[in-house]
Amino acid sequence: DGARRRGAPAGGSLSISHGLDQLPAHAMELCAKKHPPEEERRVKANAREYNEKFQYASNCIKTSKYNIITFLPINLFEQFQEVANTYFLFLLILQLIPQISSLSWFTTIVPLVLVLTITAVKDATDDYFRHKSDNQVNSRQSQVLINGILQQEQWMHVRVGDIIKLENNQFVAADLLLLSSSEPHGLCYIETAELDGETNMKVRQAIPVTSELSDTSKLAHFDGEVICEPPNNKLDKFSGTLYWKESKHPLSNQNMLLRGCVLRNTEWCFGLVIFAGPDTKLMQNSGRTKFKRTSIDRLMNTLVLWIFGFLVCMGVILAIGNSIWEYEVGACFQIYLPWDEAVDSAFFSGFLSFWSYIIILNTVVPISLYVSVEVIRLGHSYFINWDKKMYCAKRCTPAEARTTTLNEELGQVEYIFSDKTGTLTQNIMIFNKCSIDGKSYGDVYDLEGHRVEVTESTPKVDFSYNPLRDSKFSFYDVNLVESVRRDDPPTHKFFRLLALCHTVMPEEKKEGTLVYQAQSPDEGALVTAARNFGFVFRARTPETITVVEMGETVVYKLLAILDFDNVRKRMSVIVQSPKGELTLYCKGADTIVYNLLHPSCGPLKEKTTEHLEEFAGEGLRTLVVAYKDLDEAYFEGWRRRHHEASTALVEREEKLAQLYEEIEADLMLLGATAIEDKLQDGVPQTIETLGKAQIKIWVLTGDKQETAVNIGYSCNMLSDAMDDIFFIQGHSSEEVREELRKARKKMKPDTFVEDEGSGSDTQIQQPGKSQILPEEQPNGEYGLVISGHSLAYALEGNLQLELVRTACLCKVVICCRVTPLQKAQVVELVKKYKKAVTLAIGDGANDVSMIRAAHIGIGISGQEGMQAVLSSDFAFAQFRYLQRLLLVHGRWSYIRMCKFLAYFFYKNFAFTMVHFWFGFFCGFSAQTVYDQYFITLYNIVYTSLPVLAMGVFDQDVPEHRSLEYPKLYEPGQLNLLFNKREFFICIAQGIYTSVFMFFIPYGVFSDNSHLADYQSFAVTVATSLVIVVSVQIGLDTGFWTAINHFFIWGSLAIYFAILFAMHSDGLFQLFPNQFRFVGNAQNTLAQPAVWLTIALTTVICIIPVVAFRFLKLDLKPELSDTVRYTQLVRKKQKTQHRCMGRVGRVGSRRSGYAFSHQEGFGELIMSGKNMRLSSLALSSFSGRPSTSWIETLRKKKSTGGDSSAASSPSGGGPDRTLKV
């Protein structure tokens, strides 16, 4: 009946008020239509009609994607953007054409609908929470001044130009210009945790002209107009001008309250709405994030295309076979099996047969593959979130997988780019030493004048004379206290500067109890130091700073703050003492401040520089402090020009920068500060472990070179055992080039090829060749330290190759004095030229660009807020958790995904290729071997759960062994477990299985008259297939759990239950046209010959796999096999030791021999197992020649494409052994 084709058928979300991290790309949609971009914004207070003509966005926000009407069409449209879904829809359409389909439509529509439904339910759930969040936020109440009366309005009804009243602990409804507050001088306090994660309070201030508008009657008559910048995402900048009463007033970020902030410690305040809804800076920062894909994703897409090409080839072969068969043999059957009316030739029959086989063989690209991959990744993400060993109890912070798409790439990292401050160190600053007027303070000396190390027993300086001291502050050098007490002018001026030059906010909850709110830990440490030495910063207003100097209260007039930024790298304040003296105090980086010093400071500068180098050599963070006395007439002129520049609408920042440079010239040097930033717990051990895993670590820091190098030694990144450490400090492109070449020539002289004409390596820069550089192995262990100015030259186009080739030969690279942009450029450089997975880790806003640039970004929730976490893919609280994330979770995720994919392709080829072989015996008529219900259920019921269990729970070695043997991580870096070669191996195994799966039952049925029917043959082949693939996954499973057992044996039980049910009388009576083969399964499986056939098929399919793995384990074991064997032997020894303990207690005599030896070692020695154990468990394990397979592959990878390396003599040194 199935011989040919004839006329008869062949039987979180996330609330807007809770951060920026998960908002979708459409989060900036307005409840109305979009508007063209603005060039500037004009806002007039209390004038809705005037403001509405500009069509500014309302305060209604929309982060949801769908509504009840649009959900189905939009969601389906989005899902069919996926190529796989479109492909299966195409197959479904083909199956609806009777002339080419020999399968029922439900064989494709059931899996397709299941996948679409699961995805739709997930999307609908997410969008429901977005709707809920939107409604909650938009429905919040706010007091809006309308017609002189405060009225309660929902946030969604607030408009640009409205005046809003906020009360303590309320969220800010929109981006507001602060007009007045309950605090003196128009001050108010806010918490910006929802914007940048920083929990310390910040101060904002109304401009003096509006700070008196404290009641609604005055505010109702306020008609000022603000002209400012258009909406943007810069949280720390705002530029605008207020025009009111025929005068203009400059506006800055210090005058703004941004949406998402919370009003704290302020009874009330009034603000003018400048930006609303999607125009607020919070929503402007909620844009689309860069989507990252793993290397396995990219490989899988390539393999699916190859499989589709293979499917087309099989379809063509079978279609040609059908045409030949119809032409040569089919003519004999025309009388009783005529062609369809549409078929008029053998060629056309073959054409239809091609599409029929495309439908039948489509399961080589299963739709369930993509869903299964996402389920596995989701499971891995939960394991990271639930890991108690990555939970920081001190901060109550668990690890967080903020994406589910990068888990397996954590097992393939080769380069780590790390920030220093707050990432490797604690970012808890302690004032440690200082240099004042050329004298160094902070060291402790014994009676003989020798410097001694400070320990816990070292006596501390007694600050009890100071009633306002901080009791937690510790200092050990009494000389500094004596210098303060004897009224030494430079010392007093030094601490006066520390007490005045900052942006710290004080809180005095009760008399004498001061708490400082500092925007950076450095500032807090310096102000606290000044406080203990007798210069207590007590209070601040917008116009004054109150300091208690040696018990005497002094109020300074604050005339100007020249604030810090990443370009200036310094800050200054201009104050006037009660005596009328004008002074500028400045603190900043030594490289910057030194350029601003008066020439007379030369001798002091030299002495201070010596101290700075000494401090930096000890790993301390340094700042230089200086001052300048100002002439009152000059200052008044400067102040007038400063006001003009601050109100300028064009080039405001450039004009201000010029004025700052002018007044900060000719400073007088006072000294320098040195702050200690201690290492985090476990950092040296973590870096050492990661280094053993062949992971290269680059530290990108803004600190001085000496500080960074010292931290490098403290962290075990740099060591005296290294062959050399190169310092790149050139001040021109040529100098940098020569220094890089000199370093590379020493590290790898045998492959140094120099093109004198172009100044570049000819073996790399060849037209038409890939930019990916081959791996190179140095002749030793090296480190590289490069300064920021040299890095700027090295990142230029013509030096990039020099930098990346030289740096990648080094085990450790430290880049000093780098900017946030340079951090990202370094990461992009390695991504561009090295085929390696990169990981960036940091804790501050200056690390965000680096975190986003790397393949994997990790944020540390530290002292610098949550900006890094909000931009990251994974987050945790301590750097030491990184080794567990990579060596345990990352490695397991990679192994699980590789085993899952290999098995998935194997089982589907074994399943599908049976149809191909059957085509040669059914006249190429597109008749299926299996029952159509079996085809439908095979991937979604019979074999889906066991492979999911393996993909989620499997382990090759326990977690503590993964950390104990970092070399286990290397297969992921070399991409050994699933690549194109492994793919072809699993495909070959699937094809091999399908051959015997078909031909053994076919041979048996051909010679057995009792088993000659097609349906019995189908049941036998299907049962053999389910058993074989179940045995195979049992062999592939390395870590058995109750879930694995339940899924594997449960799937087999479900198969037989469904099989017997479909051949039962009950279903036949209900659906006689669908289940016609009553009792067939029962009769077939009652035959001993069938079970013998199934057993023979299973043995022949599985025995080669078992034999191969046994031989590989014995002849060429992998390191994971070795570790497992070591563990088994140790377990056996422990058992023997317990037995020995029990036996030893029987007798009364004690023997020293019994305590130093264990029972059973004679047998162990004779067996040779202990010899093997020592070679496996210890570093000498590599003595067996068969165990250096990873190093051999590394060598092949490094010499591939490097002809000079291939031709070099072998006498360059012995092969590197594989150490565990």
d(C-alpha 195, C-alpha 283), whole Å? 10
User: Residues 1191, 1197, 1198, CA angle at the centre, nearest 5°?
Assistant: 90
Residues 6+ apart with CB under 8 A from 703: 420, 421, 621, 711, 816, 817
Strand partners, 36: none
Which among 307, 320, 305, 309 is positioned nearest to 354, based on CA atoms?
Answer: 320
Phi/psi at 8 (5° precision): -85, 140
Residues 6+ apart with CB under 8 A from 966: 689, 690, 692, 693, 887
Q: Where are the alpha helices (DSSP H) in 705-778?
A: 705-714, 733-747
DSSP per position, 843-892: SSGGGHHHHHHSSEEEEE-BTTBSHHHHT-SEEES-TTHHHHIIIIIIHH
d(C-alpha 27, C-alpha 728), whole Å? 46
d(C-alpha 242, C-alpha 771), whole Å? 54
d(C-alpha 606, C-alpha 623), whole Å? 15
Strand partners, 536: 548
Asked if 466 and 539 count as a contact pair (C-beta separation under 8 A), the reply is no
d(C-alpha 649, C-alpha 652), whole Å? 6
d(C-alpha 1029, C-alpha 1021), whole Å? 12
d(C-alpha 796, C-alpha 1216), whole Å? 35
Helix (H, G, I), strand (E, B) or coil at 772: coil
Strand partners, 786: 728, 815
Which are the catalytic amino acids? 419
> How many other CB atoms sit within 10 Å of the CB of residue 531?
26
Each as own residue / partner, the long-range contacts of residues 1171-1178 (CB below 8 Å, 24 or more positions apart, any chain) are: 1172/1125, 1173/1125, 1173/1126, 1173/1129, 1176/1122, 1176/1123, 1176/1125, 1176/1126, 1177/1122, 1177/1126, 1177/1220, 1178/1220
User: Residues 981, 985, 990, CA angle at the centre, nearest 5°?
Assistant: 145
Each as own residue / partner, the long-range contacts of residues 506-514 (CB below 8 Å, 24 or more positions apart, any chain) are: 506/537, 506/538, 506/539, 506/540, 507/265, 508/538, 508/539, 512/467, 512/468, 514/468, 514/470, 514/538
d(C-alpha 864, C-alpha 16), whole Å? 22
d(C-alpha 103, C-alpha 926), whole Å? 9
Give residue for tokens 């399964």.
Answer: 1081
Q: Where are the alpha helices (DSSP H) in 221-345?
A: 281-284, 295-328
Asked if 280 and 259 count as a contact pair (C-beta separation under 8 A), the reply is yes
Does the CA dihedral 474-480-482-487 come out positive or negative?
negative
Element (H, E) at 426: strand 425-436
> How many other CB atoms sit within 10 Å of the CB of residue 381?
21
Asked if 747 and 741 count as a contact pair (C-beta separation under 8 A), the reply is no
In the chain, the amino acid numbered 638 is W
DSSP 390: G
